[in-house]
Amino acid sequence: MNDHIRKPDWLKVKFPAGENYTRIDRYHRLHGLNSVCRSAACPNQGECWSQGTATFMILGNTCSRHCQFCNVGSGQLAPPDPGEPAKVATAIAELDLKHAVITSVTRDDLSDGGAVQFVKLIREIRKRTEECRIELLIPDLQGNWAALGEILAEQPDILGHNVETVPRLYAQVRPEAIYQRTLDLLAEVHRQNSSVITKSGLMLGMGETREEVLQVMNDLRQHDCQLLTLGQYLAPTRAHYPVQRYATPEEFAAYAESGMALGFDHVESGPLVRSSYHAEEQYDASRRPDHG
């Protein structure tokens, strides 16, 4: 464990406050919703909720995999809740969100990886609001591209799947994931429905080298990934994979510059960045005239 590595000042966040934060916090508690903001111990929960945005997590709060970086627990898996799509869609409408981000735990126990639940949720959202953009952050579906096609047929605005770290570290950090399958999923999205924007994300500070990060960024572009997020890995507990180092804001800025040079439509890069951080702004950047 690298307990001796002190967290730098640029990773300190303000205590959450404000009317929007209170409203979203109260709604989650009253309606028993799962949000990745809480389940994954996201450092931006205060900022995002204060701005009136939230990322919802479906298919329960228990994952079928055992990634060493993630705060979402593993254990007994319950069947998908048939009432969940309507409940989450109602929350999105009642909270008046203009850009909804929905992710899920990984459900390798389901033949479609949970794709049907995403499909049902998109339909429920569209019943309640036509103005809300829909961004999905999905698991790899174990390479089930037919199930992916069912999601894409519902025309989400953005579909993301995170590469998380460099391939050398997968055995330690993501033992049940396959690097090439992650890349293939992003390429498959573009092949099946090129109007859906593709997105992925990397965490820094796990022991990767600069050359490895740049190679992953190049691999993502070669597989038609359009949006990229880079943020600092923060170990949720001492039992998780330990932080190896803290990348500086200057390093993150340099990666953003390199990413834009590679041809990403937008790169959101900074110590506190997570997949859904400034998601609406990322979408807007990808829709600029110079990006078609």
Distance of CA 95 to the CA centre of its chain: 20
What residue ranges do the domains of the chain occupy?
9-291
Pick the CATH number of 9-291 from 3.60.150.10, 3.20.20.70, 3.40.50.1820, 3.40.1370.10: 3.20.20.70
Q: What is the pLDDT of residue 284?
A: 72
Query: Per-residue pLDDT averaged across 107-134, rounded?
Result: 94
Q: What is the pLDDT of residue 37?
A: 46
Inter-CA distances, 6 with 12, 154, 244, 289, Å: 11, 45, 11, 43
Q: What is the pLDDT of residue 4?
A: 58
Among 33-42, 162-171, 178-187, 204-213, the minimum mean pLDDT is found in: 33-42
Query: Per-residue pLDDT averaged across 37-65, rounded?
Result: 63
Rounded Cα–Cα distance for residues 234 and 218 (Å): 24
Look up residue 118 and give its two tokens. Answer: 């995403």
Q: Which residues contact 75 (CB under 8 A, 6 or more apart)?
A: 62
Residues 7-49 pLDDT 10s: 888 777 665 555 555 555 665 555 555 555 444 445 555 555 5
| pLDDT reading at 183 higher than 70 | yes
The dihedral sign for the CA sequence 278, 287, 34, 69: negative
51 vs 29, more confident:
29
Q: What is the pLDDT of residue 31?
A: 57
Q: What is the pLDDT of residue 19?
A: 59
Residue 153: pLDDT band by 50, 70, 90 thresholds? Answer: very high
Given the structure tokens 């999601």, which residue do they identify? Answer: 151
| pLDDT reading at 223 higher than 90 | yes
| pLDDT reading at 110 higher than 60 | yes
Residue 239: pLDDT band by 50, 70, 90 thresholds? Answer: confident
DSSP classification of residue 164: B
| pLDDT reading at 254 higher than 70 | yes
| pLDDT reading at 150 higher than 50 | yes
Listing from the earlier edge strand, what are the strands of the sheet with 99-104? 55-58, 99-104, 133-137, 158-160, 197-204, 227-232, 266-269
